[in-house]
A = this chain, B = another copy of it.
């Protein structure tokens, strides 16, 4: 297995490679990191490490490049120890804090901020609304059997959808429906009231039973079927990185980021685990981003679960990325604040 010095060499190679992007030679390691050993010794270690698949050579007579396995060791080491406080402009943090009133806006800003600070791509997802307390339910008649379903959730979040019902309901009937649904649902989450509503409302408004059924189904869809809302920001920052000089690859990534489905996978990949989660390269082949690493973490803002993260090259600056992300998450969650946030009302 890995000896102490093997480990030191791996960490040194990863560290240096992240900094320079060039293959790292034995001389460099001996000079900068293990001053009491000669290059020849390091060379032997490196040969071992190559056999164990922690390092590889792009060609004979080149330095070594870390494999995903080496990055994993490196990242685990970072996660274990204390990270330095990242230098992030206080102005930006304050701006982000100021936007917390509107969760969506805050997340859009957070992704752009993350992108700008790290030169990687910021992503965010807003968790399923079904756990969030409903504050208001309205059905507004828009046209012939077309109705706008409007849900106000705690945290200033609004979901709405225009739906077509099987029969034309008057605004009065819809108000009646709103009232009945409200009585039961307001102050509770959709998950709690879902079952109750299905049976109750239909009986009470039997004349419109079909329409009510379909309206409730749409609400259900709004709150559960499309459980995450996605945001990406700062995609352009990544264009300058040498790691993404292969345009074809970059194009694939950008295309993936435009589909909600693949960000969905991204989030699911992370949200099952606790806290911070780093995926290196093709550790999760389902994500279809073999040349990218993903740093994600979840938090709670505006009463909803949110997942925020960064997508960068495998050779990304994990230390900085992680600490910047932690700082942003803290700000979103409202930790370390002097001003108390508004207390919730009913």
Contacts and interface: CB of A to CB of B under 8 A. Distances in A.
Interface of A: 101-102, 112, 135-136, 138, 140-146, 148, 150, 152, 154, 156, 158, 160-162, 164, 233-237, 239-240, 245, 247-248, 250-251, 253-255, 257-258, 342-345
A258 B146 CA distance: 34
Given A158-B158, A162-B156, A144 B343 contact: yes
Given A235-B258, A239-B250, A240-B251, 15 more contacts: A135-B140, A138-B138, A140-B152, A142-B342, A143-B342, A143-B345, A144-B342, A148-B152, A158-B158, A234-B258, A235-B235, A235-B254, A237-B251, A239-B247, A240-B247
A301 to B, nearest CB: 13
A136 B102 CA distance: 21
Q: What 3 pairs between A and B have smallest CB-CB spacing? A: A236-B254, A143-B342, A239-B251
B258 A344 contact: no
A150 B148 contact: no
B148 A140 contact: no
A121 B208 CA distance: 45
A179 to B, nearest CB: 14
Nearest to A236: B254
Contacts of A138: 136, 138
A145 B138 CA distance: 23
Nearest to A168: B345
Count copies of this chain in the complex. 2
Nearest to A142: B156
Contact of A344 (B101, B143, B162): B143
A102 B161 contact: yes
Nearest to A238: B251
Contacts of A239: 247, 250-251, 254
Contacts of A140: 135-136, 152
A101 B247 contact: no
14 contacts: A101-B162, A135-B142, A141-B345, A142-B342, A143-B343, A144-B345, A145-B342, A146-B342, A148-B152, A235-B254, A236-B251, A239-B247, A239-B251, A240-B247
A17 to B, nearest CB: 22
A304 to B, nearest CB: 14
Contacts of A240: 247-248, 251
A236 B248 contact: no
Nearest to A255: B236
A112 B258 contact: yes
Given A102-B162, A236-B251, A236-B254, A148 B144 contact: no
Contacts of A344: 143
Contacts of A102: 161-162
Contacts of A150: 152, 158
A97 to B, nearest CB: 14
A150 B156 CA distance: 10
